[in-house]
Structure 1
Amino acid sequence: VGFSVFMIVFEIALGIMLIIGARPKFTSWAFFLLVGFFTILTGFTYLTGYVPTEATFFEFSKWVPFQETNMKVTDCGCFGDFIKLQPRTSFFKDIVLLFPAFFFLWKPGKMHQLFSAFARGVIVVLGVVGLTLYCMSNYVWDLPHTDFRPFKEGVDVAERKALESEALDNVEILFYRMTNKTTGEVVELPYEQYLQEFKQYPKEEWTLEQIKTEPAIPQTKISDFEIQDIDGNDVTDDILLQEGYHFLIVAHKIPDEIELQTQTVYDTTFIVDTVMLTELDSIVYVKRVGDVSSTEVQVEKYLFPDYYTRRYSEVVNPVMEAAQAAGIPVLAVTSIADPAKIDDFRHATQSAYPFHLADDILLKTIIRSNPGIVLWKDGTVVKKWHYKQLPSFEQIEAAYLK
Structure 2
Amino acid sequence: METNFTPTQNKKINFIDILLGFSRFFVGLLFIFSGFIKANDPTGFGYKLQEYFHVFHMDFLNDYSTWIAVIICGFEIIMGVFLLLGLYRKTVAWGLLLLIIFFTFLTFYSAFFEVVTSCGCFGDAIPLTPWQSFIKDLVLLVFILVIFKYHERIKPVISSSGKRSFAATATVLISFGIGIYTALFLPFIDFLPYKVGNKIPDLMVLPEGKEGDVFEYIYEIKNKATGETKKVTDKEYMDGIWEDDNWEVIGEPTSRLIKKGYQIPIPDLLISDAEGNEVTQEIITSPFYNFIVVSTYIDKLSTADVIALDRINTIIRDLSTQENLRAVLLTASSSDVASKLNTDMDLVLETFYADAVPLKSMVRSNPGVLLMQNGVVLKKWSKLNFPSKEELEKTYLQK
Q: How many residues align?
A: 317
Q: Residue type matched to 1:193 in 2?
A: E
1:114 deviates by 1.2
Q: Which residue of 314, 332, 336 corresponds with 2:333?
A: 336
CA distance in 1, matches of 2:375, 2:205: 11
Q: Which residue of 78, 86, 95 corresponds with 2:129?
A: 86
Q: Residue type matched to 1:309 in 2?
A: V
Q: Residue type matched to 1:45 in 2?
A: S
- Which structure: larger Rg? 1
2:102 alignment counterpart: 37
For the residue of structure 2 that corresponds to 1:209, the secondary structure is strand
1:125 deviates by 1.9
Matches within 5 A, 1:163-312: 163=206, 171-174=213-216, 176=218, 191-195=234-238, 202-203=250-251, 208-215=254-261, 217-220=262-265, 222-255=266-299, 306-312=303-309
2:59 alignment counterpart: none
Matches within 5 A, 1:147-158: 147-158=190-201
CA contact (8 A) 2:299 2:337 kept: no
Matched, 1:124 2:189: no
CA distance in 1, matches of 2:174, 2:91: 21
Q: Which residue of 159, 183, 190 corresponds with 2:202?
A: 159
Q: Which residue of 64, 71, 80 corresponds with 1:6?
A: 71
Matches within 5 A, 1:38-57: 38-48=103-113
Q: Residue type matched to 1:96 in 2?
A: V
Instruction: Rate the CA distance shift 1:370–1:28 in 2: closer, same or farther, 3 A.
Output: same
Instruction: Rate the CA distance shift 1:114–1:310 in 2: closer, same or farther, 3 A.
Output: same
Q: Aligned-pair RMSD on alpha carbons?
A: 2.8
Instruction: Rate the CA distance shift 1:358–1:175 in 2: closer, same or farther, 3 A.
Output: closer
Instruction: Rate the CA distance shift 1:212–1:394 in 2: closer, same or farther, 3 A.
Output: farther
Q: Which residue of 113, 138, 141 corresponds with 1:95?
A: 138
Q: Residue type matched to 1:371 in 2?
A: P
1:110 deviates by 2.4
1:229 deviates by 1.0
CA distance in 1, matches of 2:117, 2:333: 28
1:115-170 deviation per Cα after TM superposition (whole angstroms, max 9, x unaligned):
13443333222111112122111121x211111111000100012212369957x5
CA contact (8 A) 2:295 2:331 kept: yes
1:392 alignment counterpart: 388
Higher strand share: 1
Q: Which residue of 348, 351, 355 corresponds with 1:355?
A: 351
For the residue of structure 2 that corresponds to 1:163, the secondary structure is coil
Instruction: Rate the CA distance shift 1:133–1:201 in 2: closer, same or farther, 3 A.
Output: same
2:149 alignment counterpart: 106
For the residue of structure 2 that corresponds to 1:225, the secondary structure is coil
CA distance in 1, matches of 2:166, 2:146: 26
Identity of aligned pairs, percent? 26
CA distance in 2, matches of 1:309, 1:74: 34
Higher helix share: 2
For the residue of structure 1 that corresponds to 2:272, the secondary structure is coil
Q: TM-score, normalised by structure 1?
A: 0.71
Q: TM-score, normalised by structure 2?
A: 0.72
1:308-340 deviation per Cα after TM superposition (whole angstroms, max 9, x unaligned):
322122x20222112322221111011111x33
